Amino acid sequence: MLISANLAVCGSCLRERAEDALPIAMRVHAEKRSYFGLPPFPPRGRSGATCRLCVNECVIPEGGRGYCGLVENRGGRLVRLRGTPSEGLLEWYYDPLPTNCVAAWVCPGCTGAGFPRYSYRPNAEYGYFNLAVFYAACSYDCLFCQNWTFREHARSLKPSVSAWELAGKCNEKVSCICYFGGDPAVQMPHSIKTSELAIRRADEWKRIVRVCWETNGTMSWPLLKKAALLAYETGGCIKFDLKAWSEPLNVALCGATNKRTLDNFSRLKIFMRKAPEPPFLVASTLLVPGYIDVEEVRCIAGFIADVDPEIPYSLLAFHPHYVMDDLPTTSRRLALECAAAAKEEGLVNVNIGNVHLLADY
C-alpha cells in the first residue's frame, strides 16, 4: 500500500473511515493555503454575501475573500477582483500544434477530426498554434497540483489581462484557444467574453478558431452551458478532469466535493447527440498511486459510459508534485489494469496518457 507521508492518511481510510481520516487531510489543506494567504476553507459564516460562481458557494464575511481569492465582500457587496471581462488573472502563450493537451488524441488540431469545417488539415495542424490561457486561481486545492505555483498570484493579483486584449492575440495562425490553470471555473465570465470576441473576429475573417475548456467542472451550470455552446459551435471541447469517484477521497485530495462536477458532466449529455465528431466532451483521470486505483477508475468509467460510452477517456500517469511529491510515478501495471476496467465498463475510447512516466513496479 502506498501512502503519502505528507498527507498522512491512506486512500482506503479516506473511503471507508472518512469521519476519522478527512480531518487529517483538511489540516494539510489549511496549512498549505495559509502560506499563500488564501482562506483555509470556503467561508461559511452566518452572515455575509454569497458567491454562486462555483461549487464552493462561499458565504464571505465583511472584508473577507472567497476560497479562490478573487472575490471580496466590501460593505456587504461582492467585488470581483479578477475574473471579470475587464480583468483576468492569467498568463498566456502560443503552443505549437499538435500539442500535448488532454484531448490531443481526439481533437481537430492534432488529428484533423471534423475536417474541413473545424480543422485546417485532415491531420495535425502543423504550422498553427493553440492560444494557451492559464488562469491563476482555482475552486479546488489539489494536493498533487502540477501547476501549484499559481497560488503565488493570489496576493499580487497580477498579471491582469482583459478579454479584449486576450482575444486580440488570436492571429491568423491561431486555430484554437484552450483555457486551463489553476482552473477557469472561477473566471468564467472572462473566458466566455474572450471567446465571444475571438469567435466574432474569426467569423469576420472567415477563419477557424475552436474554443476549449480544461476544467474540474465546478462552475455554475448557467456559465458552463454558455461555455458548452461556444465549444460546440466552434468544434472545440469541454475537458473534464474527473479527479475521483469517492466524495471523501475527492474532498481529501482536492479540498472540495465532486458532486457539482459529476452533475455538470451528466447535464452536458444534451450536446452529445449533436456532435459525434469532433468529440464535444472529453474526460480524464490522474492515476495517483495509492489513492486512485482500479475500483475508483471503474466507478468513474461506469458513470461516463452511462452518459455516453463513446466519450473519450484518458488515464493520465502521475508525476509527484506539490504536497504529494513523495509518491512514485504511476506503475505500468496500474495504468493497464485501469484501462482494462474502463473498457469493461463499456467505454470504447480509452487512452493512457503520459506513458513516458509509467514505472515498472
pLDDT in tens, the chain (361 residues): 899 999 999 999 999 999 999 999 999 999 999 999 999 999 998 889 999 999 999 999 999 999 999 999 999 999 999 999 999 999 999 999 999 999 999 999 999 999 999 999 999 999 999 999 999 999 999 999 999 999 999 889 999 999 999 999 999 999 999 999 999 999 999 999 999 999 999 999 999 999 999 999 999 999 999 999 999 999 999 999 999 999 999 999 999 999 999 999 999 998 876 656 799 999 999 999 999 999 999 999 999 999 999 999 999 999 999 999 999 999 999 999 999 999 999 999 999 999 999 999 9
Residue with cell string 491561431: 174
DSSP assignment letter at 32: H
Question: Is the pTM of the predicted complex or chain greater than 0.85?
Answer: yes
CA distance 30 to 201: 44
CA distance 337 to 327: 19
Instruction: Tell me if 189 sits within 8 A of 226, measured CB to CB.
Output: no
Strand-pair category, 238-241 with 174-181: unpaired
Give pairs for 60-66: CB < 8 Å, separation 24+: 64/39, 65/38, 65/39, 66/39, 66/42
- Say which CATH class 88-357 falls into: alpha beta
Phi-psi domain of 234 (left: phi exceeds 0; alpha: psi -120 through 50; beta: other): alpha
Strand-pair category, 160-161 with 350-353: unpaired
Residue-range domain boundaries for the chain: 88-357
Cβ neighbours of residue 237 closer than 8 Å, sequence gap 6 or more: 103, 107, 210, 212, 231, 278, 279, 280, 281, 282
CA distance 164 to 150: 23
CA distance 11 to 136: 29
3-class secondary structure, 201 = helix
Could you tell me the three cell numbers for 64? Answer: 473577507
Length of the chain: 361
CA distance 201 to 209: 9
Instruction: Tell me if 53 sits within 8 A of 82, measured CB to CB.
Output: no
Burial class (CB in 10 A: 0-12, 13-18, 19+), 162: middle
